Amino acid sequence: MSFNTIYVLLMSVRMAPRLPLIVLLMIHGVSGAGLGVSYSHSHICALKNSSVIMSCTYTYPTGHKIKKVFWTKGPVKGVEPPDLSEDPEYSQRLQYLGDKQQNCTIRLSHVTQKDAHMYCFRFITDKPDAVWIGRPGVTLTVTDLQVESPKRVTEGDSVRLTCKSSCALTDGATFIWYRNSQPLTERRDRNNQLLLQSVRREDAGRYSCAVHGHTYISPAAHLSVTYPPVNHVLSISPSGEIVEGDSVTLSCSSDSNPPAEISWFKGGTIVGSGRIYSISNISSDHSGEYKCKSRNKHGEKYSDAVTLNIMYPPRSVSVFINGSGEIVEGDSVTLICSSDSNPPALNFSWFKENQSSAVGSGQSFSALQSGRFYCEAHNQHGSQRSDAVTVTVMFRCFSSVAVAVAAAVGVLLGGASGASVMYICLNKRMNRRSAMKESVISDPNEDTYTALELKSTTSDLYDTLSTVHPRPPGDSCTTLDPKHENPSINRKMLQ
């Protein structure tokens, strides 16, 4: 017989009317095993929102009949213990599993922190004053789960995460781990710890834990894995052709933890900082290679270089004279047009001042006449004209033949007649010079002088004056001595 049973019997005897001793002995004999309650666990640690089974058995003397059984929260002195099945907070969650004869096991579902109490079983028999409460009863502790982990680890380190509870769960718990709400199926065991060896950046995320067979999942704990910058991406907006005057934005992003500080370089010179580098009203001076550098306390990394190729119309257009700007009549001078542009100018037009229409095209131009010339350079972004340059055509000196003829005619005709012939010769030459200014000579070997028809033919000297061709420029100023009386010499000089 248990102590509680003896205690109750003694109290009953003390409070009951006096009876003959033989009656007391008869009652003791009838009671058999006596009154009592036995619990399987005096302490239960249950997971929040789980179901708890409180197992118990009870005994009472033979001949007693059970009138009422119920569970109650820890009895309070002077207060009648309430029946939990009649309490609205428990009535829907409490299920009696026993047989109400000897088994008093119950199930309490969806336990919360408010359910943390001592619970006792109470039964009443048909005998007067045969009321029994089994105390101390079952102490219920309700716990949740918390993931304990370091806030930050460095890539390559080992890390241990622990699924913690405020008390040791009574049933053999098998733990399940989740990362970013996805189960880590390879981690299901009775150990409440998760070991990550040589942690990777991909292991970063939100970790939570649960107990197999239960719906409750712990709040997530964030694991941060630090690592140096990797995987640069440097982009250009707009991505198409960039024309001088546009606005351009360069973007740099990198994968790093903690976030990296970003610097911008053009060549080897730092030009800016931050993830975005903007250039407004861009010019050709901004052309070149750009790259960004990402840096945190774990390391640094440079991006691949990108090239800004700025398009712009022709500028600094100028004309170069190949040689001297002064040429001799019948020759030409080459003018060359140059410009700075992107893309390079491919179309060139040549103009003579005071003329509206072009006089030529191409990067070079052959000038045959005096005047001021300029060029225009064109690309798809615009055009620009150069300053004008001056070309001067110098007339040739009289050739040796012309001088000889003039001298001979002057001697033969004498006086005014000679002067008249000289005038005729010079006038014809001037007329021919004017004609050359109006048109381009197609054949530089064309006859320069026509034959002189003299009225008097007193010497074979005049028979030789039919057609005269110019000598090379080197001989153009050779003079003829009119006093030469040797026809053979004069004839030789005229040939």
Q: Which residue has the tokens 């005057």?
A: 245
Report the alpha-carbon distance of residue 478 to residue 257 in Å, rounded: 92
Report the pLDDT value the prediction gives residue 130, as an integer from 0 to 100. 67
Report the alpha-carbon distance of residue 164 to residue 161 in Å, rounded: 9
Report the pLDDT value the prediction gives residue 495, as an integer from 0 to 100. 33
Report the pLDDT value the prediction gives residue 9, as an integer from 0 to 100. 40
Q: Give the H/E segment covering residue 14.
A: helix 3-15
Report the alpha-carbon distance of residue 43 to residue 291 in Å, rounded: 67
- Burial (CB count <10 Å: 0-12, 13-18, 19+), residue 2: middle
Q: Are 214 and 175 in contact (CB under 8 A)?
A: no
Q: Are 225 and 200 in contact (CB under 8 A)?
A: yes
Task: Express each pLDDT in 482-495 by its tens digit.
Answer: 333 333 333 333 33
CATH topology of domain 3-141: Immunoglobulin-like (2.60.40)
Inter-CA distances, 277 with 116, 251, 289, 348, Å: 61, 6, 14, 38
Q: Which architecture, in CATH terms, is 311-394?
A: Sandwich (2.60)
The CATH class that applies to domain 146-219 reads mainly beta
Candidates 85, 56, 65; CA nearest to 73 is 85
Per the structure block, which two tokens stand in for 199? 């942690």
Angle, helices 400-413/487-494, rounded to nearest 10 degrees? 140
Report the alpha-carbon distance of residue 166 to residue 146 in Å, rounded: 9
CATH topology of 3-141 equal to that of 146-219? Answer: yes
Q: Are 154 and 298 in contact (CB under 8 A)?
A: yes
Q: CA geometry: angle at 32 spanning 27 and 36, to 5°? A: 105
Per the structure block, which two tokens stand in for 9? 């019997």
- Would you kindly state where each structural domain of the chain is located, as residue ranges? 3-141, 146-219, 226-308, 311-394, 400-494
Inter-CA distances, 340 with 313, 347, 363, 380, Å: 8, 13, 13, 14
Q: What is the DSSP string of 406-438?
A: HHHHHHHH-HHHHHHHHHHHHHHHHHHHHHHHH
Candidates 297, 294, 243; CA nearest to 265 is 294
Task: Express each pLDDT in 166-192 by its tens digit.
Answer: 888 877 788 889 999 898 876 666 678
DSSP code, position 184: E
DSSP code, position 16: S
CATH topology of domain 226-308: Immunoglobulin-like (2.60.40)
Report the alpha-carbon distance of residue 405 to residue 306 in Å, rounded: 77
Q: Are 192 and 161 in contact (CB under 8 A)?
A: no
Report the alpha-carbon distance of residue 429 to residue 397 in Å, rounded: 11
Q: What is the DSSP string of 276-312?
A: EEEESS--GGG-EEEEEEEEETTEEEEPPPEEE-EEE
Q: CA geometry: angle at 486 spanning 484 and 492, to 5°? A: 90
Report the alpha-carbon distance of residue 428 to residue 1 in Å, rounded: 163
Task: Express each pLDDT in 317-350 by its tens digit.
Answer: 999 988 776 777 778 889 999 999 999 999 999 9
Residue 434 phi/psi, 5-degree rounding, is -65, -40
Digits of tens for pLDDT over the chain (495 positions)?
444 443 334 344 334 433 332 222 222 223 334 788 989 888 989 888 888 899 999 888 887 888 888 888 877 777 778 888 888 888 899 888 888 778 889 899 998 889 899 999 888 888 776 677 887 889 999 989 999 988 789 989 988 899 988 888 877 788 889 999 898 876 666 678 888 888 998 889 999 998 888 888 899 999 999 999 887 776 888 888 899 999 999 999 888 888 899 999 998 899 999 999 999 999 999 999 999 999 999 888 998 889 999 999 999 999 998 877 677 777 888 999 999 999 999 999 999 999 889 999 999 999 888 899 999 999 999 999 999 999 888 876 544 444 455 455 444 544 444 444 444 445 544 554 444 444 333 333 434 333 333 333 343 433 433 333 344 444 433 333 333 333 333 333 333
Candidates 215, 196, 195, 189; CA nearest to 49 is 215
Report the alpha-carbon distance of residue 34 to residue 7 in Å, rounded: 11
Angle, helices 21-31/3-15, rounded to nearest 10 degrees? 150
